[in-house]
Structure 1
Amino acid sequence: MSKNSLENIRNVAIVGPYSSGKTTLLESILFVSGAITRKGSVKEKNTVGDSSPEARDRSMSVEVSVASTDYQDVRLTILDCPGSVEFAQETYNALVGAGAAIIVCEPVVERVLTLAPLFKFLDDWEIPHLVFINKMDRSSSEYMDILHALKEVSSRPLVPQQYPIRKEDTCIGYIDLVTEQAYHYHQAHHADPVPLPEHLAAEEKAARTEMLETLADFDDHLLEELIEEIDPPQEEILQDLKQDLSADLIVPVFLGIAEQNYGVRPLLDALVKEAPDPHVTAERRGFKSEANGDTVAQVLKTFYTPQGGRLSLVRVWQGQLNDGITLNGVRVGGVYHLMGQQQESIQTANVGEIVAVGRLEGIQTGETLTSSGQKIQELPKADQMLPVYAMAIAPENRQDEVKLSNALTKLLEEDPSLYWEQHGDTHEVILWGQGEIHLQVSLDRLRRKYNLPMNTHLPQIPYKETIRQSVVSHGRYKHQSGGHGAFGDVYLEIKPLSRGEGFYFHETIVGGVVPKQYIPGVEMGVKEYLEHGPLGFPVVDVDITLKDGSHHSVDSSEQAFKQAARIAMNEGMPKCNPVLLEPILSINVSAPSEFTSKVLQLITGRRGQILGYEGISGWKGWDRVSAYLPQAEMHNFIIELRSLTLGVGSFQWEYAHLQEVPEKLLQNLLTTTAGNNNK
């Protein structure tokens, strides 16, 4: 494929917060460009995007949707990405293959902050992006106030290309700041050109001057024209917009009302004229967009469909991708263009295209694919989001337990932000994710796709116990039942160890009072007891020494000494002043600085210990708070954190250490645990 052919392709991601109208914008783009003849709506559950049952049940995007259309001889492939922070991994994985992104937002100053993580990701990855201020008919803020708020969350300068024309409480049109032509919206066709409203002349002139001055920061010739008060030609302005957007130097801003198709055509015009074509994106990733040579592609998303089985959404960076080609040792079984849930079979995908590929078994999301079979440097992929919310799960039908592992493996291939484990202490299967809705969607998929309905409950906290005092305890096991009996006799010294030292077993036997062949039985008996100490939990940080004992030449055995050791431990451990320990996590909370005080209160209100906080390097206006937090207080922590921070707060965690449970909580906890164990 020639560079000229590449210039007729655009790969665009639509991103933005939940409820900003991304899926509605996609529907409007497809309708205006003629890809569909009738617009669907989220309310009626008949849109091209959000076509999965889980999305339609909740009227929200829960995974990437793909659609394509042609506009002015340019092929647009659009990735409609989830807006909820709980599905951000989907968005970030898809953005890696996009050539540009449209950030959709509402005209509410207070909600602009929710865009900050998106701007940060796009800026860090140098992905060109535009802003589309949607729902201008519901604006409660002044346009310039919205622009000011947007500038606060973007590290790139904003360049508004339109100025709104308002009548009473709604937006009826716009002024194109490049041409200085005013337009009134029409739902069914292009906006009508109208004279520039006199009452907006000053505001328009100020906005246009700001646009030109921003562009002049990257164009010395334009700067000279402005200094000499020469009005630059429109072609020069458009060329600057294209160059600066392609280089991710500026962020153009558009406005409209997607539900009524208002502002969609100018946005499409900008994508055609200003957004970078695939060779620009490829060069940024280190490729030359060559149609010849080895095929190089990258997986952006994995689907398991009811009809077609496994599908991998891939971006072709180099060469051609043909049906039947072998990538990373796996033979491709079908190449498709996607239109929501619909698949169109094709024989070849050219460099620059985003397509779905069948039967790439064992290939993970983010993986770099090559046809040569030779190892090449892996393409960059989005960081894996660490899980922050957990549920314990079990099949409603116990006979389904054998199917669960395979189903969970497929679930994680579709959604890499999930994680599951069978906990070594509690023996529960725990599903981890990004929030309550995220896990509910995952459970719906288990039920619908794999016929595995689940029972759920809060995960148990893996408490431990230890001791404070030392004792010497005697245990004798004697059993007579005809023939040989059983006899074992031991004296054990039980001592506490420092936190984190674990378990040690020693013996100081002299004179063979306990024969060496029976000592392993003593250690086994001790270990078995330590699985459930006097408080009912695994025991840690203890030192056990076998000091003395006796044996019978006929009746003694390893098993008898094992029982004697258990008796000694059962007698001695309650006298060692046992204490309950809870796991403590080390957490790092990231949030806008204006919410730092609330974050500190949230942590201390959950028995957390603040270690400190500081500004995040490279992220103006954001703080990172370091703290210790009891795992017992973690369950709804992410939900409350997001509630306090407009949904943008996040945290990372890792296990730190064990710590004694406060006395005031101990009795209630032991009573609750005993009640659960008796059920």
Structure 2
Amino acid sequence: MNEKVKSGSRNVAIVGPYLSGKTTFLESLLFVTGAITRKGSVKDGNTVGDSAAESRERHMSVEVSAASTEYNDTRFTFIDCPGSVEFAQETYNALMGVDAAIVVCEPITDRVLTLAPLFKFLDDWEIPHLVFVNKMDRANINVLDTLHALKAVSSRPLVAHQYPIMQGEQLMGFIDLVSEQAYKYHAGAPADPIPFPEELKEEEHIARAEMLEALADFDDHLLEELLEDIEPPQEEILKDLKMELGADLVVPVFFGVAEQDYGVRPLLEALLREAPEPETTAERRLKVKKGDSPVAQVLKTYYTPQGGKLSLVRVWRGKLTDGIVLNGVRAGGLYRLMGQQQQSINQACVGEIVAISRLEGIKTGDTLSCEQITTALPKAAQLEPVYALAITPEKRNDEVKLSSAITKLLEEDPSLAWEQHGDTHEVILWGQGEIHLQVALDRLRRKYNLPMTTHLPQVPYKETIRKPASSIHGRYKHQSGGHGQFGDVYLDIQPLSRGEGFNFKETIVGGVVPRQYIPGVEVGVREFLSHGPLGFPVVDVKVTLTNGSYHTVDSSEQAFKQAARVAMQTGMPKCEPTLLEPILRVQVSTPNEFTAKVLQLVTGRRGQILGYEGVHDWQGWDCVIAYLPQAEMQNFIVELRSLTLGVGSFHWEYDHLQEVPDRIADRILTSGNGNGK
């Protein structure tokens, strides 16, 4: 089972939920392959992954880290991906450029649901993946129960590649289910063959039978052998594993303890034997035709502490050389990465993942070529923002630097977004959660010397009126030497149906208001409506100029604008102004075991349930559709994730304005701000 394989390179993403031990697993991989001589720890902040200051402060991955090593004449590039759902965009972008992924998880059946969104992404994109059940020394578990729990959240069949040998809560070794050879682990050394433990024969037989039956679903010859009780040769089983893993038809499962390097070498051997080669990935998944002209794709953009731009790219075809021109931009140096350390190289061949400096104007996800690009490579969809903070530089003079710094911030992290809100005039930073935005703010402070103050964004309330008022008189008369100012108008103010906006008409007869002054009346009305009697923009109002008078010398368009404002100030309070709030149409995706809790969450936030139904391409998941006031959305994602083991998500869009209940409106108007909190 340890035959030497020469197969060029493999690019492998390490993914999985927060706290599953991915960064420790990377340390073990690098140590076992000789890339490092001493393993670091997340607690001590000296690992190859999690090398960013923001990661080390929080003891968690907040961006992808690449590390290259060699094992059995094969170059491996491992990409350690964040586990927190708030940094999922980093993971998804990186997965687009790998040959396979290792899903690291804990042997806790109650938490396997956290893998569901990751499995779905991998299967939607047909990315081959294996599962490494880590921390087998920390839980007294039933292996078959763990396998069955994992199978419940994967649309692809999971097949145990090995069966762990446990002694109490300690992992002692494993049985290879292909050869049925048992092995015993040793600290700091490869596992040794040992006699088959007879007490595990029944459980091992069940696991092996399930593996063979899953493989036989895609191999008629193997199915015939099983039906005739013929023992299939090992070579045939390995061939099926390679073919079916490479096509994302099955998901092999391994067990180990990364902290002790247990299970790491067998997994590396399986990657060598069974993971698809880079050329196979390019042709099967991306339909990249063979050729000499280089084609690459950006998986991640970094701005280093020294201020230089680095683009992590996957070479899909051809080779890259120092100074090559890609998309019209001359590349800087080429580097292999070991966390934040850079090793300069002269060229990068097909299948490699390397970093290129100074690709100005090139963004994450971009397809790179020396020629004109006719078809861009597919890239991960950009996640929609679900959490926001209004930000202001601590130093007023820093406002001019903010736009440039945020542009770079968004290049590094495309799941961020920002806007200058037209109604509230706030700069709003959008992201995937509270921690996500705090990391972004830390980067603004640390990299760009832009410390920020933050607060919850104001809700863009509007106001309207409930009843009409007629013949509202407004007169503006001002005398200050020379020509005076005189304007005199009568206005009718009427409410419109929701969503009709603003309408201005005039019914002047006999020239009591000359035509050239009427535009000034409309301007005056519009200016007043930008800040109504309750303090918010006024909508769904019709104003009609019905009468007035003028002075042949002192009247002007400006005077009539002022007269219109006077009339509006007099008339609007008589029309029963009322507060309106934006209502969003929200679609919440949740495992159906949490649907009832999600319905309660929505109704508890003044939401109106429109219905719910199963997600058509995701078994066991529901989509709840509802109207929710924007004022109730600020921490909605926090509570939703709390209720759903972190996997619930939602899509939202503005739908309509609706009157605020009197009790809540009183509180908003009393507080004097748009937060309503």
Q: Distance in 1 between matches of 2:508 and 2:479?
A: 26
Amino acid across the alignment from 1:595 = F
**How far did residue 615 of structure 1 move?**
0.4
**How far did residue 131 of structure 1 move?**
0.2
**How far did residue 37 of structure 1 move?**
0.2
Q: Distance in 1 between matches of 2:373 and 2:172?
A: 56
Specify whether residues 6 and 203 from structure 1 end up closer, same or farther in structure 2 by C-alpha distance, changes over 3 A only: closer
User: 1:427 corresponds to which residue?
Assistant: 425
Q: Distance in 2 between matches of 1:418 and 1:675?
A: 23
Amino acid across the alignment from 1:429 = V
User: 1:395 corresponds to which residue?
Assistant: 393
Asked whether the 8 Å contact 1:6–1:278 carries over to 2, the reply is: no
Q: For residues 220-619 of structure 1, what are the structure 2 equivalents within 5 Å?
A: 220-287=220-287, 290=290, 292-307=291-306, 309-372=308-371, 374-472=372-470, 473-619=472-618
Amino acid across the alignment from 2:205 = K
Residue correspondences, number: 672
Of all paired residues, the percent bearing the same amino acid is 73
Asked whether the 8 Å contact 2:387–2:637 carries over to 1, the reply is: yes
Amino acid across the alignment from 1:539 = V
**How far did residue 141 of structure 1 move?**
2.9
Q: Distance in 2 between matches of 1:84 and 1:596?
A: 22
User: 1:54 corresponds to which residue?
Assistant: 54
TM-score computed with the length of structure 2 as normaliser: 0.97
SS of equivalent to 1:402: helix
Q: Distance in 1 between matches of 2:221 and 2:458?
A: 67
Asked whether the 8 Å contact 1:7–1:278 carries over to 2, the reply is: no
Q: Distance in 1 between matches of 2:64 and 2:145?
A: 32
Q: Distance in 2 between matches of 1:595 and 1:676?
A: 29
**How far did residue 510 of structure 1 move?**
1.5
Q: For residues 141-180 of structure 1, what are the structure 2 equivalents within 5 Å?
A: 141-180=141-180
Query: 1:488-512, CA deviations, whole angstroms, 9 ceiling, x for partnerless residues?
Result: 1100111111111111111111222
Q: Distance in 1 between matches of 2:515 and 2:456?
A: 46
Asked whether the 8 Å contact 1:103–1:129 carries over to 2, the reply is: yes
Amino acid across the alignment from 1:168 = G
**How far did residue 288 of structure 1 move?**
5.4
User: 2:194 corresponds to which residue?
Assistant: 194
Q: Distance in 2 between matches of 1:520 and 1:532?
A: 20
Asked whether the 8 Å contact 2:325–2:331 carries over to 1, the reply is: yes
Specify whether residues 11 and 289 from structure 1 end up closer, same or farther in structure 2 by C-alpha distance, changes over 3 A only: farther
Q: Distance in 1 between matches of 2:524 and 2:584?
A: 32
Specify whether residues 289 and 347 from structure 1 end up closer, same or farther in structure 2 by C-alpha distance, changes over 3 A only: farther
User: 2:137 corresponds to which residue?
Assistant: 137
SS of equivalent to 2:190: coil
Of 83-92 and 5-14, deviating more is 5-14
User: 1:102 corresponds to which residue?
Assistant: 102
Q: Distance in 1 between matches of 2:561 and 2:207?
A: 85
Of 349-358 and 300-309, deviating more is 300-309
Specify whether residues 360 and 603 from structure 1 end up closer, same or farther in structure 2 by C-alpha distance, changes over 3 A only: same
**How far did residue 287 of structure 1 move?**
4.1
Q: Distance in 2 between matches of 1:65 and 1:405?
A: 27
Gaps of 5+ in 2: none
Q: Distance in 2 between matches of 1:267 and 1:308?
A: 38
Amino acid across the alignment from 1:567 = V
Q: Distance in 1 between matches of 2:292 and 2:161?
A: 41
SS of equivalent to 2:460: coil
Q: Distance in 2 between matches of 1:61 and 1:226?
A: 45
Asked whether the 8 Å contact 1:13–1:95 carries over to 2, the reply is: yes
Amino acid across the alignment from 1:643 = S
Specify whether residues 6 and 368 from structure 1 end up closer, same or farther in structure 2 by C-alpha distance, changes over 3 A only: farther
Asked whether the 8 Å contact 2:321–2:346 carries over to 1, the reply is: yes
Amino acid across the alignment from 1:386 = E
SS of equivalent to 2:47: coil
SS of equivalent to 1:12: strand
Q: Distance in 2 between matches of 1:297 and 1:168?
A: 49
User: 1:88 corresponds to which residue?
Assistant: 88
Specify whether residues 415 and 161 from structure 1 end up closer, same or farther in structure 2 by C-alpha distance, changes over 3 A only: same
Asked whether the 8 Å contact 2:6–2:73 carries over to 1, the reply is: no
**How far did residue 308 of structure 1 move?**
5.9
Specify whether residues 430 and 614 from structure 1 end up closer, same or farther in structure 2 by C-alpha distance, changes over 3 A only: same
TM-score computed with the length of structure 1 as normaliser: 0.97
Of 103-112 and 479-488, deviating more is 479-488
SS of equivalent to 1:640: helix
Q: Distance in 2 between matches of 1:436 and 1:674?
A: 22
Amino acid across the alignment from 1:129 = H
Q: Distance in 2 between matches of 1:561 and 1:517?
A: 10
Asked whether the 8 Å contact 1:495–1:543 carries over to 2, the reply is: yes
User: 1:126 corresponds to which residue?
Assistant: 126
**How far did residue 225 of structure 1 move?**
2.3
Q: Distance in 2 between matches of 1:308 and 1:277?
A: 35
- Structure 1 consecutive aligned stretches of length 4 or more whose deviation exceeds 3 Å: 285-290, 674-677
Query: 1:633-670, CA deviations, whole angstroms, 9 ceiling, x for partnerless residues?
Result: 00000000000000000001000000000112111111
**How far did residue 78 of structure 1 move?**
0.6
Query: 1:411-467, CA deviations, whole angstroms, 9 ceiling, x for partnerless residues?
Result: 011111000000000000000000000000000000011000000000000000001
User: 1:659 corresponds to which residue?
Assistant: 658
Query: 1:180-220, CA deviations, whole angstroms, 9 ceiling, x for partnerless residues?
Result: 12122212101222211121112112222221222222222
Q: Distance in 1 between matches of 2:105 and 2:220?
A: 33
Asked whether the 8 Å contact 2:457–2:675 carries over to 1, the reply is: no
User: 1:78 corresponds to which residue?
Assistant: 78
**How far did residue 232 of structure 1 move?**
2.0
Q: Distance in 2 between matches of 1:228 and 1:655?
A: 62
Root mean square deviation, CA, Å? 1.6
Q: Distance in 2 between matches of 1:501 and 1:540?
A: 8
Q: Distance in 2 between matches of 1:563 and 1:535?
A: 20
Q: Distance in 1 between matches of 2:34 and 2:119?
A: 31
Asked whether the 8 Å contact 2:5–2:72 carries over to 1, the reply is: no
Query: 1:104-142, CA deviations, whole angstroms, 9 ceiling, x for partnerless residues?
Result: 000000000000001000011000000000000012431
Asked whether the 8 Å contact 2:299–2:312 carries over to 1, the reply is: yes
Asked whether the 8 Å contact 2:668–2:674 carries over to 1, the reply is: no
**How far did residue 164 of structure 1 move?**
1.4
**How far did residue 584 of structure 1 move?**
0.4
Q: Distance in 1 between matches of 2:286 and 2:539?
A: 53
Of 599-608 and 359-368, deviating more is 359-368
Q: Distance in 2 between matches of 1:163 and 1:463?
A: 60
Asked whether the 8 Å contact 1:289–1:351 carries over to 2, the reply is: no
**How far did residue 362 of structure 1 move?**
1.1
Q: Distance in 2 between matches of 1:530 and 1:352?
A: 61
**How far did residue 6 of structure 1 move?**
9.1
Of 319-328 and 446-455, deviating more is 319-328
Specify whether residues 674 and 395 from structure 1 end up closer, same or farther in structure 2 by C-alpha distance, changes over 3 A only: closer
